[in-house]
Amino acid sequence: MEFEDLIEKQLSAHTLFEGRVINLRVDDVLLPNGKTSSREYVEHRGGAAILAVDDGGYIHLVRQFRYPYREAILEIPAGKLEKGEAPEIAAARELQEETGLVAETVEPYGVIYPSPGYTNERLYIFKASGIAKDVAHPDEDEFLNLVRIPFADALDMVLSGQIKDAKTCFAILKFANERK
């Protein structure tokens, strides 16, 4: 195995909290130097997100209040994976639920680790094209506004730091690279 000298071996696992969306864990590990330590992390089943680009070159984002940051932020539609749900199905579902858009084509864009220092979450990113309007039906505790932005403006917002959400930055930069 490559980088074997960096591997930490799990000695024990303890769940401190089991929630609806996350679990909080503390594991004891054996370090590469033979000493022991503990690793606190958030266990998450993963999520899917989707960049919707229409035929006019507009990006469809949602603005929603994110409590941990105490601000409303712009981001691509996203949500957690349901148990056993394929990421591309989850991405298409979230697009329709949050924006009322359906996609003719859903293309994989990659997997990102949003914050590997404290969570095992994997975010599966997709691009939607051939989009058409349908009916939105956000979750009952989800409040958001649909924002349609020209691609060039969205890219400028990423580069200037106005869009801060990592999955959104990744998707917009990936699309920019694709357009070269």
Structure-derived torsion over alpha carbons of residues 169, 171, 176, 178, reported in degrees to the nearest 10: 150
Give CA–CA dist 2/5, Å, rounded: 8
Buried b (16+ CB within 10 A) or exposed e, 7-27: eeeeeeeeeeeeeeebeebeb
Residue linked to tokens 């195995």: 1
Catalytic residue among 4, 104, 140, 142: 140
Spatial contact of 39 and 116, defined as CB atoms under 8 Å apart? no
Is 140 annotated in the active site? yes
Residues assigned a catalytic role = 140
